[in-house]
Chains A and B, each alone.
Chain A
Amino acid sequence: MALMLVPGIIASTFAHLRSCGQDRDECVVYWTGPRDIPGAVYGMVQPAHQAGPDWYEIDSAWITGFFLDLRHTGRTARAQVHTHPASAWHSCTDDLYSLAPSPGFYSLVLPRFAVGSRELGDAYLAEHQADGTWLERHPDTEIREIS
């Protein structure tokens, strides 16, 4: 199921990751959408987190509060988007400690602290599979901004 983003999500994602990471630290956001519209992404959420040049970790209380907020508002998290300092790929840490390790959840990694082009050509996208593994996907075909 491809992700269908409302206009502006990609631009605001890059803007936040750049602003927060300051070309120095990794950063992460989550894309959310209505639970009953498959693939829809209507918003971006910035978690409370700590980070360094090659890591990030989400505040524990924030995760619980986020899941409670999702159920109250009929939304779900469809993807996590985070930066790496150099090239984009999925590390062992990325594999093991995602927000929602269940089928259909996406993980998008942006290279060079998201400081380069706002295109997704250098990005790495993976989708969580039913057997617990991550399968690489092509960002250009799986992520679309709707007009």
Chain B
Amino acid sequence: MMRAWMTPWLLLAVPILGAGLSWLLRAALSRMKTAALITTVVSLCSIIGSALALGEPSVGVPFLCLLPLTACLSLLGQPLHRDTSPAWPMTLILLGLGLGTLTSQGLVHGILLLLLLILLCGVLYRHQPVSAPDTWRGLASYGLGIIAILVALVLPAPASDIAGLMACATLFPLLPLHSGFVASLSGLPGNLPAFLALLLPMVGFHDLQVLLPTLSGTVLHTLAILALAGAVYGSLRALIQSRPLPRLAYAALAFFCLLWWYVADTGTAPIPATIYLSAVGLATSGLLLAWFAIRARYGDVDLRTLGGMAYPMPRFSTLLALLALAALGMPPFGVFSGFLSMLLLPTFTPSGPFAVIMLVWLTASWYQMELVQQLVFGRAHAELRYEDLRRTEFMSLVLLLFLLLVLGTAPSRWFESNAPTPPLSTASQGDTWTR
């Protein structure tokens, strides 16, 4: 007989056991990878199974399912290499912690969140060149998140709410606490950045949804200003990065800040907002995975040294172009439909800052297209040995695109069934057109 309190432990246990099994099989990399992949599938089944058994999980099942799916797809395209293999069990552990955090409440939720941040600090410290200032900024950001969670666990409201909000902002990136997110996406090995691009914002956003009804108008106003600044900052930084990983990290920051602004401006976090969040995360994952395919061939090189892949690598070029389209908000993918659906909700009224939002939205086509243009078009380089995507790499990117397409075209009611009711705090609904 399944009980509600068992769900987080079950969802936590399956990936962690899988991680242990995978680690035991590390002598044979192919078996290790297969074990990790099977674990993600079992984890997906356990989410669906527990949802069916209970009927009322704490967050929408479709969105929860995206986590093991993304973990699976990020692992699928990975080359069998010693350097990247430690990231596989780590992905599973993070998956377990993420699922546990999203489905738990109260003290357990706080502890799991704390563990997640501590683990992220550890991984970041272990894998980044310590001398890099970005690493220290990232560690400081996560460290602040840890302190914030401890404060939130100990102190009463409203101090706990503000502390909780700060913890949210380290995961679901918001200026000035975005450094951990950026460092994780641009510095961690293997498939971890691609998975974290979805996991971290999803966990942070879930906490924000819970905190939203308790936030005052002043706090929301402050958040809106920070979000606007973050969106502009992220866009500007993305614009000038010559390496794809920081570029994608800052681009994701800009797009997530758009969502922060929307939530702060309307005081709501409706279903389209979750669709948008998932789509931005998935699109960033996809672009990161596409870049990993290139990195596996040529190393972590400057963008300007590559190019001309359209003819020698047609599958890669097509998928990269489509992923970039999805990431910059073109139809029919999820980022576009999530964004548009959010804006068309009656809770939203266009105001002055909306112009800035549109500008940020527009800037994405500049830096994302530059990335595509640099890699795909131009003359082929004689010194490069071109090799198109292998079957697993191809499959992982195609399936990610498919997920983005589903998010973009599926009716919203598909995602509504088990999701929490969007809290309404400050914004009021009304038939605005009858004014």
Are A and B a genuine interacting pair, yes or no?
no
Which residues of A does B touch, CB under 8 Å?
Answer: none
